[in-house]
Amino acid sequence: MQYDDSCLEALLTEKGSHSMSFDVPLAVNCSILFQELPLLQRPAAAKAAGFDAVEFWWPFSSASPASTDVDAFADAILAADVRLIGLNFAAGDMPNGDRGLVSWPGRQAEFRDSVEAAIAVAGRLGTRTFNALYGNRVAGTDPTEQDALGIENLSWAAQRVATIGGTVLLEPVSGAANYPLLTAQQVIAVIDKVGAPNMCLLADFYHLAGNGDDVGAAIAAYGARIGHIQVADAPGRHRPGTGELPLADWVAAAVSAGYDGYVALEYAPVGDTATDLAEVGRSMKLG
């Protein structure tokens, strides 16, 4: 993920200084936004709203989608003339509370199938950043067993996406009672156990704040290890500027620490998505 030339030039000259302002480009998460449209129509809607970059949660009904489904998804991205900057691996039945397959005993094959499918998508679209949701604790299963499986699966996934120059992300999640990774420190501890150079923290500022993490301190400690940023405001998980979180300050701190990627809007719109996005704008002004 890279800034366009104008944003990159501004960062090179102004990063770390608040005497001038600069813009950070925004991407649209088309799994939580544009839900009023069929999934394959959402990339074009994002483009029409003025955005050139999108990301998705797992966009298929199966962890091992048919090649025709992979092609249809890739075709929709290409036809819309947007970049797919991020893609989740399969995470189970998220509407019913699942939050990933990485540490879920008995579902290793599904997780690995989804990694291979994501690599196939990347072959069409050049995507290089993939989010692996760790998974909830499973009742009746030893957490130590789950964590050992999680390390094994993450190590395997990191090796697989390394073959295409890709990065695996791991994130804290809020609002899921049985999800064990709540803070940046907990995520980094797992990444350190994996030991893969192409694993990074996905810093979702909404989730971190919702879990009571000290976001500013987390950025200070781990800013150089952030591979992607997602934002929504709180309370409500609505667009930036509607709540109380100092999102621009946190993004500026991450940029000062070396972050050079997009900031993805992963929020619940109020009403029509395109109208709501117009209130955000196409970039986040810092400084």
* 8, pLDDT greater than 50: no
Q: How many domains does the chain have?
A: 1
* 207-222 pLDDT tens trace: 999 999 999 999 999 9
- Which positions are catalytic? 171, 266
* 37-61 pLDDT tens trace: 999 999 999 999 999 999 999 999 9
Domain that holds residue 204: 5-286
* 190, pLDDT greater than 80: yes
Per-residue confidence band for 22, with pLDDT thresholds at 50, 70 and 90: low
User: What does the chain come to in residues?
Assistant: 287
* 136, pLDDT greater than 80: yes
* 80, pLDDT greater than 80: yes
Return the minimum-mean-pLDDT range out of 6-10, 71-75, 238-242, 252-256.
6-10
The CATH code of the domain that includes 178 is: 3.20.20.150
